[in-house]
Amino acid sequence: MKAKKRSAGPRTDERVERSKKAVLTTTYELLTKSGLSGVSVDEVARRSGVAKTTIYRHWPSREALLLDACSQLASRPPVPDTGSVRSDLEQLACRVAVRFREPFATVMPSIIDAAERDKDLAELQSRIHAEMRRALVTVIERAQERGELPKTQDAREMVAGILGPIFYRRYFSREPLDEAFAKKVVERALKSAESVVPRSK
């Protein structure tokens, strides 16, 4: 009785996944060092040890590879629920400040620049921004339902009041981006919300 041959499927899948992971990791590393313009398939192949033919089998173009690598940046932060809008917003603002001290932050300017000319990257940039602000909007709207914030407060404007100063400090003034600053930003946003006057009917 002949022994059954073992299927090579799972092994092949594991090898493919390892290769894809190596390529995406290498691409991301190159992105953080030199932005979109500094990434070439030749350099990715050289550094990752994955053949160009294999790379093109999974990503038909350099643009497709870049898009896939950049999409890894659109992570969704968990929504805290401490029972206090101030504490929740401070946690989220501090997380954003921490993330903007990581390699992730060095990639964003080149994505924003390329998004002006590339529809796919523009959609990706919008998705990254949406994921970044989603938790903040959830916290603000929940606080409005609990009566901690006025319902006349525009949640997106409040988010802009929190993220805007962090973006400015990271990319323009380049002053220290620490927990103390993030908490001050939240404090100013809350004071501004408290001054919102309900519209008369």
d(CA 46, CA 33): 16
- What's the structural domain count of the chain? 2
If asked whether residues 63 and 161 sit together in one domain, one would say no
If asked whether residues 67 and 94 sit together in one domain, one would say no
Which residues constitute the domain of residue 32? 15-71
d(CA 19, CA 39): 18
Rg (CA), the chain: 22
Mind giving me the DSSP string for 149-165? S-TTS-HHHHHHHHHHH
If asked whether residues 47 and 97 sit together in one domain, one would say no
CB of 131 closer than 8 Å to CB of 74? yes
CB of 69 closer than 8 Å to CB of 31? yes
Position 200 scores a pLDDT of 43
Specify the CATH number for the domain of residue 169. 1.10.357.10
Residue 2, CA atoms < 13 Å, CB-side half-sphere: 3
If asked whether residues 157 and 64 sit together in one domain, one would say no
If asked whether residues 93 and 189 sit together in one domain, one would say yes
If asked whether residues 101 and 163 sit together in one domain, one would say yes
Position 196 scores a pLDDT of 61
Q: Residue 175 is encoded by which pair of tokens? A: 């002053």
pTM for the whole thing? 0.78
Q: Is residue 142 part of a domain?
A: yes
Position 1 scores a pLDDT of 46
CB of 188 closer than 8 Å to CB of 161? yes
If asked whether residues 46 and 93 sit together in one domain, one would say no
Residue 148 DSSP one-character state: S
If asked whether residues 63 and 145 sit together in one domain, one would say no
Specify the CATH number for the domain of residue 45. 1.10.10.60
If asked whether residues 104 and 177 sit together in one domain, one would say yes
Q: Running along the chain, 201 residues long, what does each successive block of 10 average in pLDDT? A: 50 83 93 88 96 95 89 80 96 94 87 90 87 93 95 95 96 94 97 68 42
If asked whether residues 109 and 51 sit together in one domain, one would say no
